[in-house]
Amino acid sequence: MQALKGTHDILPEEVYKWDYMEGVIRDVCARYGYKEIRTPIIEATELFQRGIGDTTDVVTKEMYTFTDRGNRSVTLRPENTASAVRAYLEHKMYGDQQVHKMFYIGSMFRYDRPQAGRYREFHQFGLEVLGASSPLADAEVIAMACEIFHKLGLKDLDLHLNSIGDKNCRPAYRKKLIEFFEGKKDQLCDDCRERLYKNPLRILDCKEEGCRRASVGAPEITDYLCDECHRKFEAVKHYLDSLGISYTVDPRLVRGLDYYTNTAFEIQYPPLGAQSAVCGGGRYDGLVEEIGGPSTPGIGFAIGLERLLLALEMQNLIPAPKAQKRVYIAALGEDAVAEGFKIQEELRGLGIVTDMDLQGRSLKGQMKQAGKLASQFTVIIGSNELEKGAAAVKNMDTGTQQDIPFADIAGYIAKEEHNS
């Protein structure tokens, strides 16, 4: 049996890398005042149809949707924003009139063609700010993404920034875009021909060569922003400038759906090639209403953790795990093993990493094992030691050995460890 295509194991030897990334992320979240939310991995399909939009690739082609035994259509979450907003509404978090800042870390599922940096089960860290309409929130969110990359030491990232307007100014732009592409319909891929009237902005970020050529010279949203959206965009840029965060305004960076408003951004690490986006986000002032709640502004982003890990590995930025100080108990004979087993629990109780043989190895084999595990102390209990009521405790670093009564071993090692 093998893991399903597009899914992968994170083996015990690799988990430290994930712990490291998540540790840095959690630390930054705490400093920016974000609290973790954990939502179910499975939700009603309708939530994603409404929350992501039923003209998007994710919803039309990529969802793991099935009928459960109660005949309900359910879906493995392809992203976490819709679920976070559902939780926000279900638990009436809006009732306190406060800004809610939440983050999540977890598995997402999309049935896409797997390739380097693209998986069917992947992990995202993301955050959502609900209840804040100020451009300061947009800038804070972007600054926070940058701070995470900065803390991890990652260099050579490109921040792309755009404003996609709002329901006042976008319709006119949409119309212009449709007019522009209507004359070039035959150059568009099948998907984009479909999108032309439903979701024309998405044609701008289609990766097909024909669509890319067709969109050269297309009208740019930044020329159509209303005063209000223009002012907000300028404010976001101003705040980013004030922090020295550099960005490229990219009018092709779009999100096609009506509930997305104003800020859209993406952070890329170009050496990752075709899947270079490590972070994507933006403002979604219409989403909460779309899911059935009161009008509530929102903004968020998600970082793909597999891609982040690839980037960190390319720049050699993951510190080696700290070597743990260990004790190995080598015991031979039933009674000696029973004595060692008790001492092992005492040591573990004092917070000292302790192991003993579980495979019936000879005493020599056990000593070898102690060396392999890079133990700092080995406690040796054979028939002689049982008779004396004291074990030979060997300091593996210095090679010195001392007899210590069984009852004192845990205390002795704890003290030695403390002093070393």
Report the nearest approach of ligand AMP to the CB of residue 110 (Å): 5
- Taking CB under 6 A as the binding criterion, the range among 118-126, 246-254, 353-361, 407-415 that sits at the site for ligand AMP is 118-126
Q: Which long-range contacts (CB under 8 A, 24 or more apart) does 387-392 make?
A: 391/339, 391/340, 391/343
Closest to ligand AMP by CB, 122 or 173: 122
Closest to ligand AMP by CB, 112 or 346: 112
Closest to ligand AMP by CB, 145 or 332: 145
Closest to ligand AMP by CB, 265 or 328: 265
Q: Per rule CB under 6 A, is residue 8 in the interface with ligand AMP?
A: no
> Quick one: which of 79, 128, 138, 285 contacts ligand AMP (CB under 6 A)?
79
SS3 of residue 342 by DSSP: helix
- Taking CB under 6 A as the binding criterion, the range among 114-122, 162-170, 190-198, 291-299 that sits at the site for ligand AMP is 114-122
Residue numbers belonging to the annotated binding site for L-histidine:
79-81, 110, 124, 128, 255, 259-260
Report the nearest approach of ligand AMP to the CB of residue 115 (Å): 9
> Quick one: which of 39, 49, 56, 124 contacts ligand AMP (CB under 6 A)?
124
Three-state SS annotation for the chain: CCCCCCCCCCCCCCHHHHHHHHHHHHHHHHHHCCEECCCCCEEEHHHHHHHHCCCCHHHHHCCEEEECCCCCEEEECCCCHHHHHHHHHHCCHHHHCCCEEEEEEEEEECCCCCECCECCEEEEEEEEEECCCCHHHHHHHHHHHHHHHHHHCCCCCEEEEEECCCCCCHHHHHHHHHHHHHCCHHHCCHHHHHHHHHCHHHHHHCCCHHHHHHCCCCCCHHHCCCHHHHHHHHHHHHHHHHCCCCCEECCCCCCCCCCCEEEEEEEECHHHHHHCEEEEEEECCCHHHHCCCCCCCEEEEEEEHHHHHHHHHHCCCCCCCCCCCEEEEEECCHHHHHHHHHHHHHHHHCCCEEEECCCCCCHHHHHHHHHHCCCCEEEEECHHHHHHCEEEEEECCCCCEEEEEHHHHHHHHHHHHHHC
Residue numbers belonging to the annotated binding site:
79-81, 110, 124, 128, 255, 259-260
By rule CB under 6 A, what string of x and - marks binding of each residue 38-77 to ligand AMP?
A: ----------------------------------------
Closest to ligand AMP by CB, 22 or 355: 22
By rule CB under 6 A, what string of x and - marks binding of each residue 277-316 to ligand AMP?
A: xxxx---------------------x-x-xx---------
Q: Per rule CB under 6 A, is residue 110 in the interface with ligand AMP?
A: yes
> Quick one: which of 17, 118, 176, 348 contacts ligand AMP (CB under 6 A)?
118
Closest to ligand AMP by CB, 34 or 125: 125
Q: Per rule CB under 6 A, is residue 147 in the interface with ligand AMP?
A: no
# residues contacting ligand AMP (CB under 6 A): 16
> Quick one: which of 20, 122, 239, 260 contacts ligand AMP (CB under 6 A)?
122
Nearest-angstrom CA–CA distance, 20 and 8: 19
Closest to ligand AMP by CB, 94 or 111: 111
- In the complex, which residues of this chain contact ligand AMP (CB under 6 A)? 79, 110, 112, 117-119, 122, 124, 277-280, 302, 304, 306-307
